[in-house]
Amino acid sequence: MAEISGTSVDKVEQPIECAARRYLYVWEGPVRIIHWLNFFCIIILSFTGYFIHDPFMSSAQHPYIMGHMRHIHYVTGVVFSVSILARLYWFLGDSYFASWRAIPNPFDKNNRKTFWAYIRFYTFLGKETPHLLGHNPVAFCAYTLLFLLFFLQILTGFALWAQADPYSSLYAVTGWIFGLVSNQWVRWFHFMVMFLIAGFVINHIYSIVLFDFKSKSGEISSIFSGWKPDRRD
Ligand code: HEM
């Protein structure tokens, strides 16, 4: 009889049956890199942005602290914008799960059924959700809104920055916004969107942990490794 470190195999606890048929590579390298780049950019931009709004360290004790915070905010803002552009490029590309090909079709009966099953699950009205490999349709709607917020945050951020030089090309591209609303309004909007993004981050972490437990399909590890078990029926 085979032995594992002196223990007979018969005595080793049998694993609970796993419904996975195979593993699939769902999130490609660039998707994972962009995800984590966005994550760190959002943390840095929120911290430095909050400081710009309400400086909680005095420049008497920390000389040029506001200058440093603004510098970090602007550089990270540029990195974040490039990262969002890269994600949009990938969205238009050849991948399946991370591209437009995986957009749920509202005219398809099965897609609508899946959407309502997830809505019932999120609102504690139902327990069953079909097992999916990519984004579920409700998450897909949330990500669409999130990217709209990113776009507005990038637009207002660059418009605020462009005010430093109203003769710059940046002002030529973004300055029209001050013809519609005042610059204090743009500042307020940019500040408020930070809280909406923070709300998404909290909900995102909650949902991902919930589904990692529920679906037993490595939701969390997949954003590190890219792989997910295929448990679809
Ligand atoms: C997740 C994304 C971002 C968050 C959470 C964020 C947050 C903030 C916050 C809270 C402020 C302070 C607003 C106020 O004055 O009350 C701010 C200011 C500012 N942000 Fe952002 N921001 C983001 C992205 C960007 C981007 C992409 C840029 C473009 C480079 C940018 C450029 C600016 C500028 C120029 C200011 C004004 C700074 C000043 O008055 O010196 N931000 N940001």
What does the pLDDT look like over 11-49, one tens digit per residue?
A: 555 555 656 668 889 999 999 999 999 999 999 999 999
Q: pTM to 2 decimals?
A: 0.89
Confidence of residue 4 (pLDDT cuts 50, 70, 90): very low
Measured in Å, residue 188 CA sits from the centre of ligand 1 at 10
pLDDT in tens, 82-103: 999 999 999 999 899 999 999 9
Q: Residue 5: its pLDDT value, please?
A: 47
Q: How far apart are CA 97 and CA 133, in angstroms?
A: 8
pLDDT in tens, 120-157: 998 989 888 888 888 999 999 999 999 999 999 999 99
Please report the atom of ligand 1 found closest to the CA of residue 80.
27
Overall average pLDDT of the 94-120 stretch: 94
Overall average pLDDT of the 97-124 stretch: 94
Q: Whose CA is nearest to atom 1 of ligand 1?
A: 42
Q: In one letter, which amino acid is 213?
A: F
Confidence of residue 230 (pLDDT cuts 50, 70, 90): confident
Residues 6+ apart with CB under 8 A from 191: 49, 53
What is the average pLDDT value for the chain, to the nearest integer?
91
Q: Whose CA is nearest to atom 18 of ligand 1?
A: 49
Q: Residue 222: its pLDDT value, please?
A: 94
Overall average pLDDT of the 195-207 stretch: 97
Residue in this structure with the two tokens 């923070």, named with its chain if needed: 198
Q: How far apart are CA 224 and CA 201, in angstroms?
A: 17
pLDDT at 10 over 70: no
Q: Which of 61-70, 128-137, 144-153, 180-189 has the lowest mean pLDDT?
A: 128-137
Q: Which of 138, 128, 75, 149 lies closest to 104, judged by CA? A: 138
Q: Whose CA is nearest to atom 15 of ligand 1?
A: 53
The 3-state DSSP composition of the chain as helix, strand, coil percent (nearest 5) reads 65, 5, 30
* φ, ψ at 162 (rounded to 5°): -65, -20
Q: Residue 17: its pLDDT value, please?
A: 60
| Residues framing ligand 1 (Cβ under 6 A) | 42, 45-46, 49-50, 52-53, 70, 73-74, 77-78, 80-81, 153-154, 157-158, 160-161, 187, 190-191, 194, 197
Q: Residue 15: its pLDDT value, please?
A: 57
Measured in Å, residue 26 CA sits from the centre of ligand 1 at 33
Task: Show the tokens assigned to 55.
Answer: 């400086």
Q: Residue 7: its pLDDT value, please?
A: 47
Please report the atom of ligand 1 found closest to the CA of residue 154.
27
Which of 51, 160, 177 to mutate for ligand 1's pocket (most ligand atoms within 8 Å of CB)? 160
Measured in Å, residue 49 CA sits from the centre of ligand 1 at 5
